[in-house]
Amino acid sequence: MKKVIFTPLLITLLFASLGCSGQLTTREKSAAIGTVSGAAVGAIIGSTVGSPGAGAGIGSAVGLAAGAFIGDRMLKKEKKETQQQQELEQNQADLERQQQELEQMKQKQEW
């Protein structure tokens, strides 16, 4: 029974990892971590009741959902922080430009 459940799961994880052509997003990393962690915890819990395969399957599904949810939240936070940093840099550039203009105006008045 263990071989029947774990072999397809292992093959799926192998193909999923090979199929990723680019760098994983935070959401994808969290989903993968959640899936593997959920499967491990589910297998441990399932083995105490005599069904580690079912526990691993249920645990991986729950872990996937939880990991994807957490990863999505983290990704949104990262995007928001990036946007805020860009706005901060733009404001700093505007401030420096305005200071230069002010200095130029002061110099013109001195002439």
Indicate whether 100 belongs to any domain.
no
Averaged over 1-26, what is the pLDDT? 62
Residue 92 lies in a domain: no
Is 0.75 topped by the overall pTM? no
**Residue 23 belongs to some domain of the structure:** yes
Rounded to the nearest 10 degrees, the angle between the axes of helix 52-110 and helix 2-19 is 20
Is residue 110 in some structural domain? no
Lowest mean pLDDT across 67-71, 82-86, 106-110: 106-110
CA distance 52 to 6: 10
Q: Has residue 72 been placed in a domain? A: yes
pLDDT in tens, 24-38: 888 888 888 888 888
Q: Identify which of 8, 16, 62 has the alpha carbon closest to the alpha carbon of residue 35.
A: 62
Give domain status of residue 53, yes or no.
yes
pLDDT value, residue 76: 94
E strands present in the chain: none
Average pLDDT value for the chain: 83
Question: How many residues in total does the chain contain?
Answer: 111
Q: Which domain holds residue 57?
A: 2-86
* Two tokens, residue 19: 């199929």
User: In whole angstroms, what is the distance from residue 9 CA to residue 64 CA?
Assistant: 13
Q: What's the structural domain count of the chain?
A: 1
Q: How many beta carbons lie within 10 A of that of residue 67, not counting itself?
A: 23
Q: Is 75 within the bounds of a domain?
A: yes
Are the CB atoms for 69 and 26 separated by under 8 Å?
no
